[in-house]
């Protein structure tokens, strides 16, 4: 008897087991934090003779005046006739030198840290009302004036100027928002620890995947600043250029009005 088969019948196939879903990439771990070895800033007060004190007060009268738009910051601009005097005193050392660091992720807000020296814990950390890349563009113009203003306190109030918690911020005469003083975070201390051996310079540090992802970069600029205290309501930081008169100029003014 002939064997008849249906031509449409397909041969039997083997059933494949279901494939597991593709594994998602493992998160990139954050760079290990450096153990903090920064030391406490010195609390010693420097002694000055009366002649030095008089000269310092005289110089601070000129140096505490920011070059910004008067209507925007409610502060007088430096008279044209005193521009050369201002530049001359800017290159002198009437105040005392501190280390200042601007740092932040490129798309995040930039912070400013002030230290007695690169090996000391910060004495001041202010989160400014600007993104890091915006400040870099301003610095490319060659001159940046940042004014941080707050209201005057009563005479009996002994709060130091740099201890004010909130500031109205102006950059080159334009209102930028509000600056906030804060305690140094673990991230801040990690940056200061990494830069402990750097006295002056600029660059980028590896990003923290917990904050900006594995491709994020933290930009920084560190320099010496001349700190001049004009009064209990006026204080100024002038960035000192390592090669004299070249490079960008940066001044930060703390003022109670």
User: Per the domain annotation, does 28 fall within a domain?
Assistant: no
Position 233 in a domain? yes
DSSP 8-class letter at 205: E
Q: Which residues contact 187 (CB under 8 A, 6 or more apart)?
A: 208, 211
Q: Is residue 249 assigned to a domain?
A: yes
Residues 84 and 90: their CA atoms lie apart, in Å, by 10
**Nearest-5° angle of CA 104, CA 246, CA 226?**
65
Q: What is the mean pLDDT of each run of 10 residues along the chain (257 residues)?
A: 52 62 56 79 53 43 42 38 40 73 92 96 96 91 93 88 96 95 94 94 80 72 95 94 70 96
Using N-to-C axis directions, what is the helix angle for 50-63 and 83-90, rounded to 10°? Answer: 130
CA distances from 51 to 46, 64, 152, 225, 245 (A): 14, 20, 30, 23, 28
Return phi, psi of residue 84, to 5°.
Answer: -65, -35
- Specify the pLDDT at position 22: 62
76 in any annotated domain: no
Domain-embedded: residue 196: yes
Query: Rounded to whole angstroms, how far apart are CA atoms 63 and 157?
Result: 25
- How big is the chain, counted in residues? 257
pLDDT confidence of residue 163: 94
CA–CA dist 200, 221 (Å, integer): 8
Pure H helices in the chain: 50-63, 70-73, 83-90, 132-140, 186-194
CB under 8 A, 24+ apart: contacts of 125-128: 125/181, 125/182, 125/183, 125/184, 125/188, 126/167, 126/179, 126/180, 126/181, 126/182, 127/179, 127/180, 127/182, 128/169, 128/176, 128/179
Residue 41 lies in a domain: no
Structure confidence at residue 86 (pLDDT): 43
Q: By the 8 A CB rule, do 227 and 97 touch?
A: yes
Q: How many domains does the chain have?
A: 1
The pTM for the full model equals 0.69
Is 226 among the domain residues?
yes
In a domain, 115, yes or no: yes
Parent domain of 203: 96-256
pLDDT at res. 242? 72
pLDDT of residue 111: 97
């Amino acid at each position: 008897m002939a064997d008849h088969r249906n031509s449409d019948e397909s041969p039997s196939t083997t059933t494949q087991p279901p494939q597991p879903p593709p594994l998602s990439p493992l998160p990139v771990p954050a760079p290990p934090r450096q153990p903090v070895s920064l030391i406490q800033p010195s609390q010693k007060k420097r002694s000055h003779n009366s002649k030095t004190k008089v000269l310092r007060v005289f110089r601070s009268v000129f140096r505490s005046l920011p070059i910004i738009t008067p209507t925007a910051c409610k502060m007088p601009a430096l008279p044209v006739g005193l521009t050369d005097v201002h530049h001359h005193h800017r290159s002198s050392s009437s105040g005392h030198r501190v280390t200042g660091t601007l740092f932040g992720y490129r798309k995040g807000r930039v912070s400013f840290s002030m230290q007695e020296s690169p090996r000391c814990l910060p004495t001041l950390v202010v989160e400014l009302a600007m993104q890091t890349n915006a400040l870099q563009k301003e610095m490319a113009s060659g001159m940046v004036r940042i004014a941080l203003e707050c209201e005057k306190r009563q005479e009996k109030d002994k709060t130091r100027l740099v201890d004010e918690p909130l500031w109205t911020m102006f950059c080159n005469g334009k209102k930028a928002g509000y600056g906030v003083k804060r305690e140094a975070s673990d991230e801040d201390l990690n940056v200061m620890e990494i830069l402990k051996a750097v006295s002056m310079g600029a660059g980028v540090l590896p990003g923290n995947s917990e904050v900006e992802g594995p491709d994020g970069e933290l930009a920084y600029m560190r320099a010496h600043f001349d700190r001049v205290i004009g009064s209990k309501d006026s204080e100024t930081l002038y960035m000192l250029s390592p090669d004299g008169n070249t490079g960008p100029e940066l001044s930060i003014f703390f003022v109670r009005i």
